[in-house]
Structures are given as structure tokens and as C-alpha cells.
């Protein structure tokens, strides 16, 4: 999850003809096969004239690229001076210019991408954040391993074509990442809907403050060579969508600690000042991949069904 970075609008060339009121059909722009990965949504798409493994990251406003992309293309990086950019574990300091990005027939000649501060991304080259994705509607069909980009030129609410049994989840974008309200063991949770994250995480401050639990008492697990604490709960839900008996990885709120370093102490408690922070909960792909998802950005709604619904 990344905080907003103010750059030139991405894919500003996306223009559709005037909507025909009587035409509610979905208009497919591009379809990609999901590439097998370590639990995140990855497609192979064209950037700077080459096919790149790219993830779709609804938990991030900014687009980002990995060190692999920079090394492969010998890109020059530049300091980010306009504002602070925080990842889950570190502060991003650099950006680079990518000469072109192609999504189906749409061609963007130049875009700025944040350099991801975490170096370990294997063969992954880049990610598209919401500043790119929100120009489209996005369908994630995990049963058929497909990612589809649709035009937003359609009738509101007329998007679920694969089943009649689905739920509608309203969302907001307070920090330009997608947020939904979920309930964890009876407590409301501000939740980031994060397709660029493999696992679901609970803010350590929520574990101790809301649930009165000591992180040192939770089970220690090792995932991809990193140690975490895993906390069991009885229920996680939003409306009719539920994930029974979830075990959530607990994450320290490093974002907030980094933000405190960047905001003068005298300003931190002033009215209107909100320190950047990790959300209460981050819903990752270990949960999302069990759903069939259609994200209607213009409507600010996510339509979901079971992954195998038909």
C-alpha cells in the first residue's frame, strides 16, 4: 500500500464516445491471462516496448517499478521532492520515467513510476496503481485466470454478467487506495482492498488497542523467509460476504512511525493533521482470490461473487 504521489495524470488519453442511454452492454478494452505468481494478480503487458510482468495493486495510488526494470532498461532515477511516499515497510525516495505503457489499444507515451523501496520482487517488473486503474473498470476472474479491462461507458449497476448471486460493496478512496468497511469479531475495520498483497494483515495497534491482545502471545509463522505473528479470529465479513475463522498476519504500523519522523512534533496533534498510517486491516489475495471481482471505479462499488459462481 502506497500513499498518493502527485504526478501527471496517467492514461489521460482514455476517451470514450458519448454514452448511449439505451446501451447497457459492457465494452471490453483488453483481456489478459493471469500469470502464476506468489499470490498476487500478475499479467504480462507491454511497457517501454517490452512484455513485463506487472501486478495490479488496488492498495496503491501510485504506479511503481522494481529495481529489475531499472536495471534491465538502464533507467535514470530521480529524487521525489514533491511529497513523502510510504510503503508498508519503508519510505520511497525515487521515481523513474517509463517511455510508454500499453493497455489493449490505449497507448500512453510517458509515465512516472515510483521506485519500489523493497528490493525483493523476483521477476516482477512493475505495478499499476489506482491512478492508472481508475480510468477503467477491472474484472478479476480467478476461476478462469483472467483480468479484463472494461470501458466505464455502461449503465450503472449493469456489470455482473456471470451470475445472478452477487454482493455489492461500496468503497471510498480516502488516500486514493480502495477502502471498504469490514467487521472483525464484531468490530468495524477500515480495510484496504489490496490486490497487490499476498496476505491479509491486521495493524498491530488494532490488535492491542481494540482487541487487547499481546502480539508476543500470537503464533509465530515464517512466510517467504520472513517471520510474522498470526492472530486467529472467529469471523471477518462485509455484508453477505464472510471469511470464517480467519488467521491474520499482524503488521507493525511502520508507515505511522515513518510519518512521525517527517511531521514536526508540534504539528502532529494539531486539528486537521492526520499522520499517514497503515489501515486497521489490509485484505490481501489470500481472501480476494476466493471471489469473482468487478471493480466499478466510477460507481465506487465492487461487485463480488464466489469465484466459481455462474
Letter string b/e over residues 287-308, b meaning 16 or more CB atoms within 10 A of that residue's CB: bbbebbbbbbbebebbbbbebe
Q: Is the pTM of this model over 0.85?
A: no
Query: Residue 242 corresponds to which cell in the numbers above?
Result: 464472510
Q: How far does the chain reach from its first CA to its final CA, in angstroms?
A: 32
| Cα(173)–Cα(61) distance, integer angstroms | 9
Q: Is the pLDDT reported for residue 180 higher than 90?
A: yes
pLDDT average, residue stretch 120-148: 90
Place of cell 487487547: 212
Place of cell 449497476: 157
Of the candidates 56, 44, 62, 51, which has an alpha carbon nearest to the alpha carbon of residue 112? 62
Q: Which residues pair with 98 in a beta bridge?
A: 111
Residue ranges of domains in the chain, CATH in brackets: 28-150 (2.40.70.10), 167-306 (2.40.70.10)
Res 240: pLDDT: 83
Cα angle 302, 233, 185; round to 5: 65
Those residues with Cβ within 8 angstroms of residue 154's Cβ, 6 or more apart along the chain or in another chain: 19, 23, 24, 25, 26, 27, 137
Those residues with Cβ within 8 angstroms of residue 182's Cβ, 6 or more apart along the chain or in another chain: 188, 189, 191, 236, 237, 238, 281, 283
Query: Residue 20 corresponds to which cell in the numbers above?
Result: 448511449
pLDDT, tens only, 26-70: 999 999 999 988 788 999 999 999 999 999 999 888 888 888 888
Q: Is the pLDDT reported for residue 93 higher than 80?
A: no
Cα angle 49, 134, 54; round to 5: 35
Query: Residue 296 corresponds to which cell in the numbers above?
Result: 466499478
Res 270: pLDDT: 52
pLDDT, tens only, 208-258: 999 999 999 999 998 877 888 999 999 999 888 889 999 999 987 655 444
How many residues would you count in the chain? 310
For residue 289, give the DSSP letter.
Answer: T
Helix, strand, coil share (%) of the chain residues, nearest 5: 10, 40, 50
Amino acid at each position: 500500500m502506497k500513499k498518493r504521489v502527485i504526478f501527471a495524470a496517467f492514461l489521460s488519453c482514455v476517451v470514450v464516445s458519448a454514452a448511449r442511454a439505451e446501451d447497457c452492454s459492457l465494452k471490453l478494452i483488453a483481456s489478459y491471462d493471469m500469470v502464476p505468481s506468489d499470490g498476487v494478480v500478475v499479467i504480462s503487458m507491454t511497457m517501454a516496448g517490452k512484455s513485463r510482468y506487472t501486478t495490479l495493486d488496488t492498495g496503491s495510488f501510485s504506479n511503481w517499478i522494481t529495481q529489475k526494470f531499472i536495471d534491465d532498461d538502464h533507467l535514470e532515477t530521480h529524487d521525489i521532492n514533491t511529497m513523502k511516499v510510504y510503503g508498508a515497510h519503508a519510505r520511497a525516495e525515487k521515481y523513474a520515467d517509463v517511455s510508454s505503457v500499453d493497455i489493449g489499444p490505449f497507448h500512453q507515451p510517458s509515465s512516472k513510476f515510483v521506485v519500489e523501496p523493497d528490493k525483493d520482487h523476483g521477476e516482477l517488473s512493475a505495478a499499476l496503481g489506482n491512478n492508472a486503474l481508475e480510468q477503467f473498470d477491472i474484472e478479476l476472474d480467478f476461476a478462469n485466470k483472467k483480468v479484463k479491462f472494461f470501458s466505464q461507458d455502461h449503465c450503472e449497476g449493469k456489470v455482473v454478467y456471470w451470475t445472478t448471486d452477487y454482493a455489492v460493496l461500496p468503497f471510498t478512496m480516502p488516500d486514493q487506495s480502495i477502502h471498504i468497511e469490514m467487521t472483525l469479531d464484531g468490530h468495524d475495520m477500515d480495510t484496504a482492498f489490496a490486490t497487490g498483497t499476498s496476505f491479509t494483515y491486521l495493524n498491530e495497534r488494532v490488535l492491542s488497542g481494540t482487541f487487547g491482545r499481546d502480539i508476543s502471545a500470537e503464533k509465530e509463522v515464517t512466510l517467504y523467509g520472513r517471520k510474522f505473528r498470526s492472530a486467529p479470529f472467529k469471523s471477518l465479513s462485509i455484508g453477505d460476504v464472510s471469511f470464517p475463522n480467519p488467521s491474520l498476519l499482524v503488521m507493525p504500523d511502520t508507515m505511522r512511525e515513518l510519518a512521525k519522523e517527517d511531521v514536526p512534533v508540534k504539528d502532529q496533534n494539531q486539528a486537521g493533521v492526520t499522520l499517514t498510517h497503515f489501515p486497521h486491516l489490509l485484505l490481501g489475495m489470500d481472501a480476494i482470490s476466493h471471489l469473482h471481482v468487478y471493480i466499478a471505479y466510477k460507481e465506487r462499488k465492487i461487485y463480488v461473487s464466489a469465484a466459481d459462481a455462474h
